[in-house]
Amino acid sequence: MLYALQVAGSQNKTTAEKSSYMEPLLSRLRSRLFRDGFRFRKYDDRYPGPPDIALPKYRIMIFVDPCLWHDRSECKRKAFPPEMLRIWQDAHATQWEETLEDRQRLVDEGWTVLSYWECRFCDNRRREKRLKAFLSDVRRAARLSRQ
């Protein structure tokens, strides 16, 4: 009985800010970066946001935003009933504005901010192509930071 309580308690404590459904996607992105030679920090609380992936050596911050959480209207995967959508928008409008202000503050401090929507990497037919495009974006930003 005690073991079950400890396991259940530890699961609650290890939940990151982003819900666990994003973790497989983020681990795939981090794996690609690591294989490509980039060393990074994840969820670094020293920076506003905190970023999903931070590359301090190159002064690059990477954010992957969930479409549902930030109410991305173009996303086809988002499924909210209209009455719930109004409540959601009212509750999270100021939070999204704060997120954008945090990212602008990072840019003002000299960081390169790369933002992606989660649905960009969810289509199985295009995933590999988009992961390669993600890596080329990071490489390009790293090259620019060295100059």
For residue 102, CA distances in Å to 30, 90, 97, 130 come to: 22, 20, 9, 26
Instruction: Say if 7 falls within a structural domain.
Output: no
Structural domain span for residue 64: 17-146
d(CA 60, CA 107): 10
The predicted structure's pLDDT at residue 73: 64
With beta carbons less than 8 A apart as the criterion, state whether 66 and 120 touch: no
Asked if residue 5 belongs to a domain, the reply is no
Is residue 135, in this structure, part of any structural domain at all? Answer: yes
pLDDT of residue 1: 33
Contact yes or no for 60/145 (Cβ under 8 A): yes
Burial class (CB in 10 A: 0-12, 13-18, 19+), 137: middle
State the pLDDT at residue 133. 93
Q: In this structure, is residue 9 part of a structural domain?
A: no
Q: Residue 10: inside a domain, yes or no?
A: no
Structural domain contains residue 12: no
What is the mean pLDDT, run by run of 10 residues, along the chain of 147 residues? 36 46 88 94 89 94 80 64 70 81 93 89 85 93 85
Total structural domains within the chain: 1
pLDDT in the model for residue 123: 78
d(CA 98, CA 104): 10
Reported pTM:
0.77
Whether residue 63 is contained in a domain is answered as yes
The Cα angle at residue 10 between residues 9 and 14, in degrees rounded to 5: 125
Question: What is the structure's pLDDT at 145?
Answer: 82
6 is a domain residue: no
CATH number of the domain enclosing 100:
3.40.960.10
3-state secondary structure 25-37: HHHHHHHHHHHCC
Res 11: pLDDT: 40
